[in-house]
Chains A and B, each alone.
Chain A
Amino acid sequence: MTTTLSPATSAGTTRGPSRYRHVQQGVRERLAPYGYVAPFFVLFLIFGLFPLLFTFYVALFDWDLIGERHFVGLDNFSELVHDPRFWGALRNTFSIWVLSTVPQLLIALGLAHVLNHVRLRAATLFRMSVLVPYVTSVAATTIVFAQLFDRDYGMLNWFLELLGFPHVDFTASVWGSHVMIALMIAWRWTGYNTLLYLASLQTVSRDLFEAAAMDGANSWQQFRHITIPSLRPIIVFTVVTSTIFGLQTFTEPLLVNPVGGLTCGAARQCQTLTLFLYEQAFGRFHFGYGAAVAVALFVMVVIVAAINYLLVTRIRSERP
């Protein structure tokens, strides 16, 4: 910048004011970007960072919103460690997360590969239709799935009966309810991830695929040696985001089994950590305890995201 401007100043006659104007403009130009990003950071400070820090503070109290509050130090956390409901919720969260994320990302990869194929007819239609589940309301999805999986009147059990099997009470069992919720999540997010992969794939030169095809590589070999390596950055992104979202699964377990209130079933068989948090803070008004669950969840998300990051960057650095 300055080098291109310097000839002009040396050549010009109005030396003083021009230099002053340039300095002023320079300061302004340096400050301007901060001004542009300020709205986000100001809002983040108010609605993101402050609640986050305040949650840590609340976690140190026995905090009933309208009654009394007492400072209890780390008591909430020691309670939490001994609370079987917390460990149950932790187990449910991870189980649902693994059951939903792994198949979801694998299917999305495969779908993206297929949708990227040159000879696919009505490509836009197919590409867009994978996004339909994503734009459907979570509540509607959950209610429909819950009806499909119903013990006595669900379509799935109707098929089981046709095939001569006894009815399965999906919502009542641990595995049944986890599979059911994982399916809802996968159904919703697979299309979204497919589009991310597809967008990234389309930046890969077609020459690569054509050259590979000329050399006799079949579709699987192309997938293995071109698609996956070129998608690595976006795979890292989707793994990290779906981990963060997966650990915060809330709406599905809240609505799938409304009979048990906020517990996702009589035995808390599919209550996730966020739902447990919600039950404690907003169902029972134990804000301190709820905040402690939130802090535990936060720590867990950070740890898992870090592990994810390390694993995936290692994969990325190992060139085939």
Chain B
Amino acid sequence: MKRVNTIAVFAAAVLLASGCSEGSGDDDGSGFEFWSFTGINQKIDVDAYTKAHPDAKIKLTEVGSTTETAQALTAALAGGKVPDLVLIQGDDLPKFMQAPENFVDLTTLGADKIKGDYLDWVMSQSTTGDKIVGIPTDVGGMAIAYRTDLFKAAGLPTDREQVSKLWPTWDAFTEVGKQYVQATGKPFLDNTPTSIFYQAVNQGTERYYDADHKLSYDKNPQVKAAFDLTLKVFASGISAKQGSFSTGWTAGMSKGDFAVVSAPAWMLNAIRTNAPGTTGKWDIATIPGGSGNWGGSYLAIPKRAKNPKAAWKYIAEMQSPAGQLANFLAKGNLPTTPSVYTDPQLVGREEPFFSNAPIGKIYTQSVVNVKPFYIGPDDATVGSELLNTLTSVEQGKVDPANAWDTALTNVKNALRG
């Protein structure tokens, strides 16, 4: 008995030790594994696809947030089981573009034939040399979401055309904000770092890298201008100083403690879910400066994918101009294919939560004139350090006069290691 026990224990230990061997894959031709992140509702697309192709077996996994999905993908690429298809958020893409050998060059599957369907500046971010790593699924055009009821109470116009005319520039926007604060005694804008800086810095012709793909955040006058603009807006006293996505931000939005939020296309969903009680009280106006983009995602196929052909078939069908239009009509993601921007279905789509604003029309106008700029691997780091410094200014922890120097020091520290 004793011996049996001892052996069993050893055997169990050995089994456990060797348990990390390769699992066997099941490759049946039409099935594939798809990793996405939460909040973007890829299930609708997958369901639509499997309805049209009943033989396709798609295993969709929502790994987690955009960052968590990128982390899981990194670990998988480094030596684990990779999915056949993966959705990568635009901000995470540059890191993967540093090592394109981890992905299937989509031109080998036919991407070179369809690349002309997409906005060239979006496509350029997932292209390196003559290799295409990802196909863009959506863009994050820019606009301003505002509360019509609060605007009315402050004696401001409420019609979206008229409101858009109030602020052709950020300076005019600030003036409107001052009027609002004077009339109501309440802050106008949720915060300046996200609502001003992250919008304004995305409206330039270059961001943190120059045309030669070298870091130039400290020399680029456009970055400094966006930074100074943010400080100026903050100094005008129109900010509620509620960091985006904080608990105070959510509460303030529901209570109407600020009237305006800068809203890249994906932000509409955040407003809808965080302040469901404010339905019908919002409307959408164009962004000062007219154009800009923040966000968007790409579909890519890892090199070691078991079934790249089936994954590509899915991309080619679901991300075609018609596929992206259907997707927009179903969930509101802004297409990356300009050929559908004039489609009556897109132009005519109205959003009841936002006073029936024609979101397709408003947002596509903001992305057609975007100038492409290079986004590099350190973009996320530089951006978040600049944003954090501006947040510290709002929190009274950094003197606005020293903010730029502090920001440069913070970026420099963050770029080490």
**Residues on A facing B (Cβ under 8 Å):** 28-29, 31-32, 35-36, 38-39, 42-43, 46, 64-67, 76, 79-80, 82-85, 146-147, 150-153, 169, 172-173, 257-261, 263, 266-267, 269, 280, 282-286, 289
Residues of A within 8 A of B77 (CB): 65-66
Q: How far is the CA of A46 from the CA of B17 in the complex (A)?
A: 7
Cβ contact of B248, chosen from A38, A150, A263, cutoff 8 A? A150
Given A150-B247, A285-B74, answer yes or no on A85-B413 (Cβ-Cβ < 8 Å): yes
Are A79 and B416 in contact (CB-based, < 8 A)? yes
Are A172 and B395 in contact (CB-based, < 8 A)? yes
Mark interface residues in B94-117 (1 if CB within 8 Å of A CB, else 0): 011011001000000000000000
Q: How far is the CA of A79 from the CA of B398 in the complex (A)?
A: 25
Given A32-B2, A36-B9, answer yes or no on A173-B397 (Cβ-Cβ < 8 Å): yes
Q: How far is the CA of A259 from the CA of B247 in the complex (A)?
A: 9
Cβ-based interface call for B273 (8 A): no
Given A172-B397, A259-B391, A266-B392, answer yes or no on A39-B78 (Cβ-Cβ < 8 Å): no
B296 to chain A, nearest CB (A): 20
Are A280 and B417 in contact (CB-based, < 8 A)? yes
Q: How far is the CA of A267 from the CA of B248 in the complex (A)?
A: 18
Cβ contact of B78, chosen from A65, A269, A286, cutoff 8 A? A65
Interface contacts beyond A259-B245, A259-B391, A285-B95: sample of 12 additional A-B pairs, CB < 8 Å, sorted by A: A32-B5, A39-B9, A65-B77, A84-B413, A150-B248, A153-B247, A257-B246, A259-B246, A260-B388, A266-B243, A286-B417, A289-B417
Are A83 and B416 in contact (CB-based, < 8 A)? yes
Residues of B within 8 A of A147 (CB): 247
Residues of A within 8 A of B14 (CB): 42
Are A32 and B6 in contact (CB-based, < 8 A)? yes
Are B10 and A259 in contact (CB-based, < 8 A)? no
Given A153-B248, A267-B398, answer yes or no on A79-B417 (Cβ-Cβ < 8 Å): yes
Residues of A within 8 A of B381 (CB): 284
Q: How many residue pairs, one in A and one in B, have C-beta atoms under 8 Å apart?
A: 112
Q: How far is the CA of A29 from the CA of B10 in the complex (A)?
A: 15
Are B243 and A259 in contact (CB-based, < 8 A)? yes
Q: How far is the CA of A260 from the CA of B391 in the complex (A)?
A: 9
Residues of A within 8 A of B417 (CB): 76, 79-80, 83, 280, 284, 286, 289
Are A267 and B74 in contact (CB-based, < 8 A)? no
Instruction: List 28 contacting pairs A-B, 8 Å CB cutoff, sorted by A.
Output: A29-B2, A39-B13, A42-B16, A43-B13, A43-B16, A64-B99, A65-B74, A66-B78, A66-B96, A66-B102, A79-B416, A79-B417, A82-B416, A84-B413, A147-B247, A150-B247, A150-B251, A152-B251, A153-B247, A153-B252, A169-B395, A173-B397, A266-B388, A266-B389, A266-B397, A267-B398, A280-B417, A282-B71
Are B6 and A28 in contact (CB-based, < 8 A)? yes
Q: How far is the CA of A67 from the CA of B74 in the complex (A)?
A: 10
Q: How far is the CA of A80 from the CA of B413 in the complex (A)?
A: 10
Q: How far is the CA of A154 from the CA of B98 in the complex (A)?
A: 44
Q: How far is the CA of A67 from the CA of B6 in the complex (A)?
A: 45
Are B252 and A152 in contact (CB-based, < 8 A)? yes
Given A42-B17, A66-B102, A267-B398, answer yes or no on A28-B3 (Cβ-Cβ < 8 Å): yes
B321 to chain A, nearest CB (A): 32
A280: nearest chain-B partner, CB-CB: B417
B52 to chain A, nearest CB (A): 34
B7: nearest chain-A partner, CB-CB: A35
Residues of A within 8 A of B244 (CB): 259
Mark interface residues in B9-47 (1 if CB within 8 Å of A CB, else 0): 110111011000000000000000000000000000000
B114 to chain A, nearest CB (A): 27
B234 to chain A, nearest CB (A): 13
A35: nearest chain-B partner, CB-CB: B6
Residues of B within 8 A of A76 (CB): 417
> Which one of A32, A35, A269 has the greatest number of beta carbons of chain B within 10 Å?
A35
Q: How far is the CA of A152 from the CA of B250 in the complex (A)?
A: 11
Q: How far is the CA of A28 from the CA of B247 in the complex (A)?
A: 63
A136 to chain B, nearest CB (A): 19
Cβ contact of B245, chosen from A28, A46, A258, A284, cutoff 8 A? A258
Are B391 and A266 in contact (CB-based, < 8 A)? yes
Cβ-based interface call for B242 (8 A): yes
B222 to chain A, nearest CB (A): 23
The A-contacting residues of B in range 349-403, CB under 8 angstroms, are: 381, 384, 387-389, 391-392, 395-398
B204 to chain A, nearest CB (A): 23
Are A267 and B388 in contact (CB-based, < 8 A)? yes
Residues of B within 8 A of A28 (CB): 2-3, 6
A-B residue pairs, 10 tightest by C-beta: A266-B391, A289-B417, A172-B395, A259-B243, A35-B6, A266-B388, A42-B13, A153-B251, A65-B78, A67-B99
B79: nearest chain-A partner, CB-CB: A65
Are B245 and A35 in contact (CB-based, < 8 A)? no
Residues of B within 8 A of A46 (CB): 16-17
B391: nearest chain-A partner, CB-CB: A266
Residues of B within 8 A of A150 (CB): 247-248, 251
Cβ-based interface call for B414 (8 A): yes
Cβ-based interface call for B75 (8 A): yes
B66 to chain A, nearest CB (A): 12
Residues of A within 8 A of B251 (CB): 150, 152-153
Are B388 and A263 in contact (CB-based, < 8 A)? yes
Residues of B within 8 A of A80 (CB): 417
Q: How far is the CA of A245 from the CA of B99 in the complex (A)?
A: 37
Cβ-based interface call for B182 (8 A): no
Q: How far is the CA of A31 from the CA of B7 in the complex (A)?
A: 11
Cβ-based interface call for B128 (8 A): no
The A-contacting residues of B in range 33-78, CB under 8 angstroms, are: 67, 71, 74-75, 77-78
